[in-house]
Structure 1
Amino acid sequence: MPDRRAIVAGLLATAAFPVASQGARLHKAMSTIVPFKASPFPYRGKLPDGSAPFLDVTAADGRRGHTSPRGGIYWEDETYSDRSTLLAVPKGFDPAKPVVIVVFFHGNGATLQRDVVGRQRVVAQVEASGLNAVLVAPQFASNAQDSSAGNFWTPEFFAKFMAEAAQGLARLTGAKAAKFDAMPVVLVAYSGGYNPAAFVLRNGDIDGRLLGVILLDAVFDDADIFANWIARHRKSFFVSAYGKASASGNAEIRQLLTGQGIVPSSDPPRRLDAGTIALLASDAAHDSFVIRAFVGNPLQWLLARLHGFQR
């Protein structure tokens, strides 16, 4: 079920901060968790290969569910019905300056308020990076061992999601939705967020706006999709920091790229420039990787190296 307490808390937080006048610099951080129409779930379609419906189980009482390879059967009403998306804007955000949208895809067993905001401090890391950025983070399978992308498997659906995010950010900040519609995007995925990230890249919904990709211990599959995207988008950056959990997937990316004459760096980048490709090994634990990887607060560290968007 949707995290109703998180939604209510987000709405109250929004009410506490008056919407900024158009073009005004924000004096307080703003965040909210709101339901989206164009959300990853509920999803009533088929698996990406078309082999079976996503909801492949029906109980005697009519409840429908999905069989996850890792988690077993999850019921739609408990796991795949949360339409929530987190929108966050840091203190000092100035819509009159160049802005970047950071889109964050969470991993397995997560909810937005408890994990993305609380445990992983994603909102705090984006703010501490110094970027003139806004954060958008959708809820996927709620608190479940499932990496399914749901509606994000469908071509052009992610573009609809981003259009709705632009409307929400406009209401939150007072800037025009058209401005957010045209902003460049950095896509970040942790752990099980690899699957929706891979399909966003494969479908190419926002290719013209995508500055680059940051993966945090996330290449558990779809290495070929990531490698192909890197090879076809040499003016974008790609950084994958990883531990033992996703080492094999990152090794596959390196092998695929090397076969095409592309040699990724193994060193942390000084800047996230166009064409930066780095695969960064770490001994850090998987469960805390978003806050402790090759450096502490790796998302903050990497975003701070994206030039041209300082607050």
Structure 2
Amino acid sequence: MSTLFRPQAEKLATLTGHRDCVYALAGAPDSTSVYSAGTDGFVVEWDLENPERDGELVARVENSVYALKYLPERGLLLIGHNFQGVQAIDLKARQLIFATALPPAAIFDIAYSESRQRVYVALGNGTLAVLHAADLSLEHLVPLSHKSLRCLILHEERQELAIGGSDHLVHILDLETLTPKQVIPGATSSVFSVCYSPDGRYLLTAGRDAHLRVWDVAAGYTEHLSVVAHLFAINHVIYSPDGRYVATCSMDKSIKLWDATGFRLLRVLDRARHAGHGTSVNKLFWSAHRNRLVSCSDDRTLAVWQVSE
């Protein structure tokens, strides 16, 4: 049996300034900047190199924001403005350059395909919106479910899009035709997060039933593993930049770090042990820059964690 390394995690900073729950984080894997947004409509940029600095306001919108997507090659930040549509902010000029109205629904997630130059948007009315990346013009509205679509992830090599929803299902779509190739049952409640492993071998899913499920992609998305990972709903699942670890965050106020090979629990980051969040942890972003993990919460704050061996 291989030696199991338990990473250390130190809380470096608590980032304050949001006036309500924070739901969205975005950034590039090697970037020193992370962007946050939430119920207050503020979109804020934070510097991970200097986490003690105040955040800089990038935009303010009328309604809440659950989804952000950063396109570093174009210097754009996409904002899912609930019940309005998707907006694109030029980060250098700090100005709105594109805005596309969508059906009046919550926007829960945004994905981007560089190979197809498309943006995919998960809507609370069960519809997938497909936009042209060049100007965010609407190409298709694809009705998929009678319940909310909550999360998206692309498998560029297989040209597949995995979509989790409140219908307890994960829909696998063909990117060329936008038709379902497969539907994965298994969850007993809403699916809040979907994540492909860096090598594309596994699809990880999690949600309200607090289970972390691992699906073998090459074997037709058969279930590889299921773990009761948290006490309450899992809001987000991500891999570390080097692919060695998986991080989950939950309504139970904790963040957990897992071994990405056997999915064994390595460390728990919570309020009692690490001065973590006091309420639900909603989203994670893991930067390759100094291996820093960022979390956001209903407690209106972000936390910056230094992860090391």
TM-score after normalising by structure 2: 0.28
Structure having the larger proportion of residues in helix? 1
TM-score after normalising by structure 1: 0.28
Structure having the larger proportion of residues in strand? 2
